[in-house]
Chains A and B, each alone.
Chain A
Amino acid sequence: MAERSTPLWEVFIRARTGLAHRHVGSVHAADATMALQAARDVYTRRGEGLSIWVVPSVAITASDPSDKDMLFEPAASKIYRHPTFYEVPDEVDNM
């Protein structure tokens, strides 16, 4: 009999206070408690973190890389969203 597959979890770790949790990898585990335990064993053997999140991989909705242009091009053309678009007289110094 084929074995049932054990669910996949994405692991996020906060390295230091003040930093956001960052994706570090994934683990297989039957439930959230075991996923946390496995994430601790696999991804924090050398003091890499202060906090771990585990999220079921199936819960993640990702954008399609082939939609990249459609999704992100509009940002590239709006240069007036950047401070350097605006002219400030030299005399005004820093703004």
Chain B
Amino acid sequence: MYSQALNTATGHADTSEAGTRFQTRVDAEERIEPNDWMPEAYRRTLIRQISQHAHSEIVGMLPEGNWITRAPTLRRKAALLAKVQDEGGHGLYLYAAAETLGVTREELVEQLLAGRAKYSSIFNYPTLSWADIGTIGWLVDGAAIMNQIPLCRCSYGPYARAMIRICKEESFHQRQGFEIVTILARGSAEQKAMVQDALNRWWWPSLMMFGPSDSQSQHSDASMRWKIKRFTNDALRQKFVDATVPQGHYLGLTFPDPALRYNEATGHWEFGAIDWEEFRRVLAGDGPCNRERLAARRRAHDDGAWVREAALAFAAKQGVARQREAA
């Protein structure tokens, strides 16, 4: 899954000699590596963005994990387990990438658990039916892929490399979701109603995943200048709508947007106004599941404390034993 476009980097152009050299390297599409000189604001922006992305992967395991035991067939259960395991792996690649910028894993986890770090607003919505699992794969992972493919060319090497790996693994996620949605859309009247209901609930939150509209962004976007970001939020959102609407229509589903219409002239699907008030509310911690998600993460962390402690104590003991042998 993925990090929301929440970050508007505020760094001003660094006109120092080092800053100019850095920008020249970025402009030449050179990758910046961990020990290279970089502006502090670039480092801070990346730590924030990569860690939010990592947190999103980790929290993103919760809404889907909710359905593992209730998947309708063994095939679906195996696929869902593999998908959730992938999300965990993606979180770990990303934490590792963030750590190359000089922050520790413990600090990052602590920021999430203390509620000081953001994660994608989409994971604060509940998964009420099995159709939600299909819809998440189709829409949420679909939106994720749109956003993540350009990140594979991000100027920061470790982030770009993590994204390449993630994108390769992600395409099965969207396809398994669409398969679930397809089967339901071609099923009984109840199944059709279930999948339509899921689409009605997930459509707008999925569009919000691309982050605030470009017109809302008051800062000149340093992320674009630094080539962390390649496309604007609105451009990516439009691309997603254009790709997804025909897929839904193909299945005979309707989108919960009366303003949705195809513009022959531009070749794009036009859509209605997004409720940014809801977006801000969910992001600020007041979505349907924010408290539940954080509580689940805290519980998992606390319950695992003795394991981490025991593993370290065991490693220390083994170290002492080896030293004695060597002596």
Residues of A within 8 A of B104 (CB): 5
Contact of A28 among B85, B86, B93, B105 (CB under 8 A): B105
Once bound together, how far apart are the Cα atoms of A5 and B108, in whole Å? 12
Chain B: residues with CB nearer than 8 A to chain A? 33, 35-37, 82, 85-86, 89, 92-93, 96, 99, 104-106, 162, 169, 305, 308, 311-312, 314-315, 318
Contact A31 B315 (CB under 8 A): yes
List residues of chain B with CB within 8 A of the CB of A8: 99
User: Which of chain B's residues have a CB closer than 8 A to the CB of A82?
Assistant: none
Contact among A2, A31, A42, A45 for B311, CB-based, below 8 A: A31
Q: When A and B form their complex, what is the total count of cross-chain residue pairs whose Cβ atoms lie within 8 Å?
A: 50
A10 to B, closest residue via Cβ: B96
* Chain B neighbourhood of A81, CB < 8 A: none
Residues of A within 8 A of B93 (CB): 25, 42
Interface contact B308-A6, CB-CB below 8 Å: yes
Interface residues of A (CB under 8 A from B): 2-8, 25-31, 34, 41-42, 45-46, 62, 64-66
Supply 28 A–B pairs (Cβ within 8 Å), ascending by A.
A2-B106, A3-B305, A3-B308, A4-B312, A5-B104, A5-B105, A5-B106, A6-B312, A7-B315, A8-B99, A25-B162, A27-B92, A29-B311, A30-B308, A30-B311, A30-B312, A30-B314, A31-B311, A31-B318, A34-B311, A41-B89, A42-B89, A45-B85, A45-B86, A45-B89, A62-B35, A65-B33, A65-B37
Given contacts A28-B105, A34-B311, 9 further A-B contacts (CB under 8 A): A3-B106, A6-B105, A7-B315, A31-B315, A42-B92, A42-B93, A45-B85, A45-B86, A46-B169
